[in-house]
Amino acid sequence: MTGLIFRRLAIGLVTMWAVSLLVFASTEILPGDVAESILGKEAPDDVIAAMRERLGLNEPAHVRYWDWLSGLFVGDLGVSLGSGREISELIDDRLWNTVRLASVTAIIAVPLAVILGLISAMRAGTVMDRSISIGTLCMISLPEFFVAALLVYVFAVQLRWLPALPIVRPDQSLWSSLTSIVLPVMTLTFAVLAHMARMTRNAVINVLSSAYVEMALLKGVPNWRIILFHAFPNALSPIINVIALNLAYLVAGVVIVETAFGYPGLARLMVDAVGTRDVPLVQACGMIFCATYVLLNLLADVLSILSNPRLRTQK
Amino acid sequence: MTPDNADASEAIDSPEEQNSNKKRDNLSLTPVAWVSILIIVFWVVVAVFAPVLAPFDKADMVSFESFKVVDEASFLGTDYLGRDVLSRIIYGARMTLGLALIATLISFTTGIVLGFVAAISPGWIDQVLSRTVDAIMAFPSIMLALIIIGGVGTSLPVVILTVALIDATRVFRLSRALALDASVMDYVVVARARGEGVNWIMLHEILPNTITPLAAEFGVRYTFAILFISSLSFLGLGVQPPGADWGVMVKENLQGLLYGAPAALIPAACIGTISVAINLLVDWFLHRSSVMIPEELTG
């Protein structure tokens, strides 16, 4: 088992490296260079040259890649082009805001999705199952910003129950910080719930159609026992996988949700940085998001190895 | 939607559901499928005949009042600049559906060609292509788009190619898997024995035998492209004003929502209708046909 886990960890490490390479390369692929595209083609040559100097673009690409990568390891993310401030300083608060948004969503969405998926799987083929299936399919098809706009319109504008724009201040009370993220959390839950419920359903259905469940059924074991003691332990590994994968969906979801609500999180910082072509900031934020995504996928795989006895004993 | 139809698209290996796949294709239209087709046809007609249908030009300011609600002149009210929402929706359909179509066509051509090549070529070509695709898929798609646009800057070709790249990786995986299955079939072995070339085999043997699942995937990827391009526009990184797709319209009018003007909800709902319709149609198709797409490939 340890061998298998180490192998998976090694693959994760290679993936991370590939990701860092691609993130770095994204600034290299354009014709001309970053300095020119930031300043525009009409900028005088000496200004461009100064910008190149400032960005360190005169070094060969592999040297700059190495500098950038080794900087990441010691937490030196470089300097933002837009504000001239240290990126690590800019990111600090933003990161925690995003983590808070994502973790509150996860706490709500994960149990809800697993329950929906279980209901759907237990009633597979019935009208209830089809309704959940069509309902979740519709949820997947709706853009997050539609859900965001609709929720704001209903709850903030028409009913006036909740603030439309989240106000996040360090000094605010717990209650107001909670009410201010209700709408973003609802939108994000909506976005990940459907995927998670569908995948849970499939994982459980897969287990329910196995021979030992049929055996249990034939020997007259009650339904709830079959689900809880026969199917669930075996579906655990795929379900854990589903959950980790869907936490990764959160990474994508927060980009839209933070922009829609003007929530001061890391994703919004990144979108703004993309808009102003603040390349080092885009790279730093991109690296944080992608690393999280890769790590969650890695975690999913490791957990499913650990929760599967057959994989556990494999050499 | 008869309840005895097991979810064929999503079954992975379950024996019960595999049995249900053996039954003949039953492609009679259910009410849900009918409605879906009607919605899709409606939007295609709107997109194609936009200049004829739109009461105003998309840039015309029809009113000095922004966020005006419904009256005789502007059926859906006006937007933040006093432009007619209905006309902009109609032109926006063209932009949204057109851009997504171009991106999907590019992704399908490259994805299918490379997928088939990977499946029937010597091992190292497959390794190189598959590992590259793995690396690209290690990114959350929106992050990949943000990083590329952050590096290159935004323009319509960049947006289209970025979406096509992201889509192409998924198409590659699917078409490679399908072609791998098909390439061990007797008819391919026979064709090889006859001395047919690789290109001929891909075009005449493998493509016709994988076209049905690929067609279903086209629907899935097309909705993805619509949602993705709209999302980029919503973030202000896709279509740039004065060009307008539905995503831009949502972004532009979002502030109005706070004053109770629903102008932002209309384009967002339009995106919802077309993508729900396509997804429900694909869902119906996968239920009723014997096609099976492994869940891990559709994501």
Each residue's pLDDT tens digit, A177-227: 677 788 888 888 888 888 888 888 888 888 878 888 888 888 988 877 887
Q: Hey, what amino acid is at A33?
A: D
**Where do runs of H (alpha helix) occur along A142-231?**
144-151, 174-180, 182-208, 211-218, 223-225
Of B1, B140, B152, the CB nearest to A293: B140
Q: B31 in contact with A at a CB cutoff of 8 Å?
A: no
> B109 to each of A20, A47, B125, B226, how far by Cα in Å?
28, 43, 18, 18
∠ CA A248-B234-A192, nearest 5°, is 25
Q: What is the pLDDT, as a whole number, of residue B68?
A: 66
Please give the distance of CA A10 from its chain centroid, rounded to a whole number. Answer: 22
Percent of chain A with pLDDT over 70: 86
With CB atoms and an 8 Å threshold, state whether A294 touches B138: yes
Q: How far apart are CA B212 and CA B154, in angstroms?
A: 35
Task: Choose among A268, A22, A37, A284: nearest CA to B154.
Answer: A37
**Which residues of chain B neighbour A57 with C-beta distances below 8 Å?**
none
With CB atoms and an 8 Å threshold, state whether B15 touches A18: no
> What are residue B103's phi and psi, to 5 degrees?
-60, -45
Asked if A138 and B278 count as a contact pair (C-beta separation under 8 A), the reply is: no
With CB atoms and an 8 Å threshold, state whether B237 touches A274: yes
**Where do runs of H (alpha helix) occur along B202-261?**
207-234, 246-257
Segment among A105-119, A161-175, A290-304, B279-293 with least mean pLDDT: A161-175
Residue B71 DSSP label: -
Of A133, A141, A282, the CB nearest to B146: A282
DSSP A10-52: HHHHHHHHHHHHHHHHTTTSSSS-HHHHHH-TTS-HHHHHHHH
The model's pLDDT over A11-60, given as tens digits with 9 standing for 90+, comes to 888 888 888 888 888 766 655 566 666 676 677 777 777 777 776 677 77
Of B1, B153, B259, the CB nearest to A130: B1
Retrieve residue B156's tokens.
């319509």
Q: What is the pLDDT, as a whole number, of residue B110?
A: 95
With CB atoms and an 8 Å threshold, state whether A271 touches B10: no
pLDDT grade for B14, boundaries at 50, 70 and 90: very low
Q: State the average pLDDT over residues A270-299.
A: 85
Q: B27 in contact with A at a CB cutoff of 8 Å?
A: no
3-state secondary structure of B11: coil
Give the best residue of B139, B166, B220, B223 to mutate against chain A (max A CB count within 10 A). B139
Q: State the average pLDDT over residues B90-113.
A: 93
Q: How far apart are CA B269 and CA B155, in angstroms?
A: 25
Q: Hey, what amino acid is at A292?
A: T
With CB atoms and an 8 Å threshold, state whether B280 touches A283: no
The burial class, CB within 10 Å (0-12 / 13-18 / 19+), for B23 is: exposed
Give the best residue of B144, B147, B158 to mutate against chain A (max A CB count within 10 A). B147
Whether B16 shows a pLDDT value over 70: the answer reads: no
With CB atoms and an 8 Å threshold, state whether B140 touches A251: yes
The burial class, CB within 10 Å (0-12 / 13-18 / 19+), for B234 is: buried
The model's pLDDT over A63-93, given as tens digits with 9 standing for 90+, comes to 878 888 888 887 777 777 777 778 888 888 8
With CB atoms and an 8 Å threshold, state whether A146 touches B269: yes
> What are residue A278's phi and psi, to 5 degrees?
-85, 80
Q: In this predicted model, which residue has the larger pLDDT, A271 or B11? A: A271
User: What integer best gives the mean pLDDT of chain B?
Assistant: 80
Whether B12 shows a pLDDT value over 50: the answer reads: no
Q: What is the pLDDT, as a whole number, of residue B98?
A: 93
Asked if B156 and B103 count as a contact pair (C-beta separation under 8 A), the reply is: no
